Each structure stands twice: as structure tokens, then as C-alpha cells.
Amino acid sequence: MAEFDTVIRNAVIGTAADLYSADIGITGGVITAIGRALGPARRDVPAGGRLVLPGGIDTHCHIDQPMRSGISLADDFLSGTVSAAHGGTTTIVPFAAQVHGQGVRAAVDDYHRRAAGKPVIDYAFHLIISDPTEKVLYEELPALIREGYTSFKIYMTYEMLKLNDRQVISVLAVARREGAMVMVHAENSDCIAWLTEQLEAAGKIAPYYHAVSRPLAVEREGTHRAITMAEIVDVPILLVHISGAEAVEQIRWAQARGIRIYGETCPQYLVLTAEDMKEPGFESAKLVCSPPPRDKASQEALWNGMTSGVFQTFSSDHSPFRFDDPNGKKRFGETAPFTKIPNGVPGIETRLPILFSEGVNQGRIDLATFVALTATNPAKMYGLYPRKGTIAVGSDADVVIWDRDREVTITNDLLHHNCDYTPYEGMHVRGWPATVFSRGEIVVDEDKLLAQPGQGQFVKCDLPSLAKPRPR
């Protein structure tokens, strides 16, 4: 009689702490045993001595999020999760974005409708707070946190999203009181607006000037101001999509002072630079994102930050706008100024292979750091650990068998998102997910999708241990 539903045999298991050889026994979608020569199973999956790692958790991605001015994201919850799964990600946490004049509860209800029956992997929701009214702060947010929506994002830029400093502090105070985690997009909005006016007056409106309008100093100042407010309230925050060396210095300074500041960076900042945005014509609109790609010195600072504790998470910030579609990058035409180009790049499927190839296989980070940044720390950051983010008895059987030596040239035709380009076209990587399990079921095997729409489950988040208030 079978002891397990599935046994993954002869695995080299990598976690954020250990690397060892064993079998993994799975029953009812949960890991129920780890050991040598486990008993019989209904299904044996030979790992053949390959790496078996926790499934990736992408905690910064934009899926089917309502947009302004007729702009549309390319991916819904089906195409977005199919793409994520092919890249070795088994849980995503996109954003339920509050619309000005409406409550946050309405955004959550809308997002559940958008997701219904589509995801092939598990998912949770962050909240985006753009209108922190008294009702939102004192009624809706506390109730939603108790219901499993324990993290929210706030912006210091973008006209329809940005909060002023008083509003930021008010949101941080709620997070401290309730034990939630706040993500901050930190850039100085007024400086960006002034620089943009100067560039437009000089006729410098090509896509490249998007990067010029958002220099390192804009991110550095916003980062420092966000740190200051977090220090005043005494609440941890996560500074998202850090791109520049100067922002890294600010986070390092705060961490050295004992301020609970966490950092996140993304693939586009490790392998793209502002120089790549100097392509002629409108082509460089493909790389318009905020913050923009920087320079080689910033890339080195980011790699160093991943090994020195500056960064705890590595996310895609997947924002898939089609290039040739009128609802995407060319919504306002190929002569539109950079201010009219939707901000964001796709990357949910390429996140893990890029970091594995450029980081682990190039010797910049070790395997434990890779697992920590892409799975374990995100799970801890957002109240999903130990159900997600590790390989342990009692955890969901979200695991990935990796072919660490498979060589792939990234092309858009290879990928499974609904976007018509990838910013990493032609990039050569070594290391690719071979077999992807979600709660014990194979969802992708050797590039073949085996999952059905709606197979993924919504996961409520516990209060994050990293956001626990310190006694005063």
C-alpha cells in the first residue's frame, strides 16, 4: 500500500539554510516526510540528483490591475500565473489597488472577481492605499488585515497614487498598531515634476529622458524621507524596487542604526542600464519603468546588497504593457512624450532564471541566498511562512526541480506572458526550472503546462513576524 501520493526521489534539496540529499514525500498537497529511501508512493518522480528548491514567491507583480486613461495591462490571472509557473514561481502576490473616492474593500472585491477561476498557482493580495480616509484607516484596513490582507503599498509619486508625508505617517501608524507590513515606492514627486517641466521645455521628450527625469538623487531623497517617517513611527517598512547605489547607501545607513528597514530589488536593475534606453526612435519605450535602470556602479551596489543584508526580497515588479497594442506603450502614439508612456516592464517568468544564471551560476550569490531572496524571505515578510517558502515537513509541496546547466536564450516566443516583447530578448542564461509542483501537483513539466485554470487557490496571509511591533 502506498505511503505517499508522490515521492520526489534522489533530490538535492536546497533551502535558505541547508543543502542535502534526500527524498521528499508528499500527501494531500503537503510535505509529510523528508528522508532517505522513503516508502512506496502512487507516483515516483525521479529528481536524478538535480537541485530541488522551494517554489518562488513573487511578491511584487501587477496582474489585471485597473489603469488610467484607457491603458491596459497585458496579463490577466490566467496568462500571468501560467507565465509565473513556467519560470519556477508557485505563489504570486499582486495588488488590489484602491481607486480614489472608493474604499479599499471595493478594490479587494473587484480583484477577487478578476481572479475567479483563472490562476494555475496560488495567490494572495497586497492592498494599494491611494486615498487614506478616516474610514479606510480606522475601519477598512483593520478589518481587512484581520481577514488576511496584511500588507499594503503606498506611493510617494504618481499623481493618482501619491500620498503626502502626513498621509504616509498615518498609514504607517495603522501598520504599527495592527502589525501589518508597508511597502513604499520612494521617489520625490515634486523633483520629478520640476525636472520633467525643464526637459519638456527643452524639447527633450524621447523615451530616454524618462530616466533623466528620475535621477539617483530623486530615489535617494525619497528613500531617506521614507526611512525617517518609519523611524518616527517605529514601524518596519519595505522599500521596493531599489535601483540605485545612493538608495542602497540610505538603507545600509538606516539598518546600521537599528531602524527596521527592508529592501527589495528586481532583475531589470541588475542587467539593464540607462544606456540601453538610448535606442533610436520609440524602441526604448520598452524599458520605461520607475525607477529607471541606472549604471554599472549601481548594479554592483545591488549585487553587494544582496549578499550583505541590504535586500531581503527579489521580485519582478512585472508590469506587462504590450508594445504595439494601442492600450500599451503606444497608447498615445510613437511620437508621444515620455510622460505618456506607461511605466513598467514584463518579467514574471524570467525573474528566477536571470537571478540563478547571473547570481548563482556566476558566483555572485550562493544558493542559500537565492532561496532566501526569492522564496523564504518573501514568505516571512508577508505572513506566508512556513506554509510557503521552504521545504519542510508540514509545508505546502510547492517545489521546483531545477536543471542548473540548461542553457537558454531568452526570446519573447519562448515565454508565456501575454506581452509582445521582453526587455531581455537575446539574453543567454544558464539554469532553468524543469518540473514545477504546486501543492504536490505538477503544473509545468519540461516546458509543458499540466495545470488547469482555477487550480490555484487564494491564500490568506498571517501577520508577518517581521512586522511585529516593538514594545515602547
DSSP letters for 41-58: EEEEEE-TT-EEEEPEEE
Q: Which residue has the higher pLDDT, 280 or 10?
A: 10
Terminal-residue alpha carbon distance, the chain: 57
Name 258's Cβ contacts closer than 8 Å, sequence gap at least 6: none
pLDDT at 284 over 70: yes
- pTM for the structure as a whole: 0.97
Q: For cell 511562512, what's the residue? A: 385
φ, ψ (nearest 5 deg) of residue 373: -70, -35
Helices 216-233 and 189-201, packing angle to 10 deg: 160
Q: If 0-12 CB within 10 Å is exposed, 13-18 middle and 19+ buried, where does residue 291 land?
A: buried
The answer to whether the beta carbons of residues 291 and 214 sit under 8 Å apart is yes
CATH number of 56-378: 3.20.20.140
Q: Which amino acid is at 105?
A: R
Q: How confident is the model at residue 245 (pLDDT cuts 50, 70, 90)?
A: very high
Residue 145: its H or E element: helix 141-146
Average pLDDT over residues 308-330: 95
CB count, 10 Å around CB of 32?
18
pLDDT digits (tens, 9 = 90+) for 207-228: 999 999 999 999 999 999 999 9
The answer to whether the beta carbons of residues 424 and 410 sit under 8 Å apart is yes
Q: How confident is the model at residue 472 (pLDDT cuts 50, 70, 90)?
A: low
Distance from C-alpha of 297 to C-alpha of 184, rounded to nearest angstrom: 24
pLDDT reported for residue 406:
98
Measured between alpha carbons, how far is residue 426 from residues 276, 316, 418, 423, 429 in Å?
Answer: 14, 19, 18, 9, 10
Distance from C-alpha of 119 to C-alpha of 124, rounded to nearest angstrom: 11
Q: How confident is the model at residue 147 (pLDDT cuts 50, 70, 90)?
A: very high
Q: What percent of the chain has pLDDT over 70?
A: 100
Mean pLDDT, the chain, integer: 96
pLDDT at 5 over 80: yes
pLDDT reported for residue 468:
74
The answer to whether the beta carbons of residues 337 and 355 sit under 8 Å apart is no
Closest to 371 measured CA to CA, from 88, 119, 152, 181: 88
The dihedral of CA 462, 467, 471, 472: what is its sign? negative
pLDDT reported for residue 469:
72
Question: If you count them, how many residues does the chain have?
Answer: 472
The answer to whether the beta carbons of residues 195 and 158 sit under 8 Å apart is no
C-alpha cell at 316: 519582478
Average pLDDT over residues 416-444: 98
Buried-exposed string 368-401: b where 16+ CB fall within 10 A, e elsewhere = bbbbbbbbbbbbbbbbbbebbbbbeeebbbbbbb
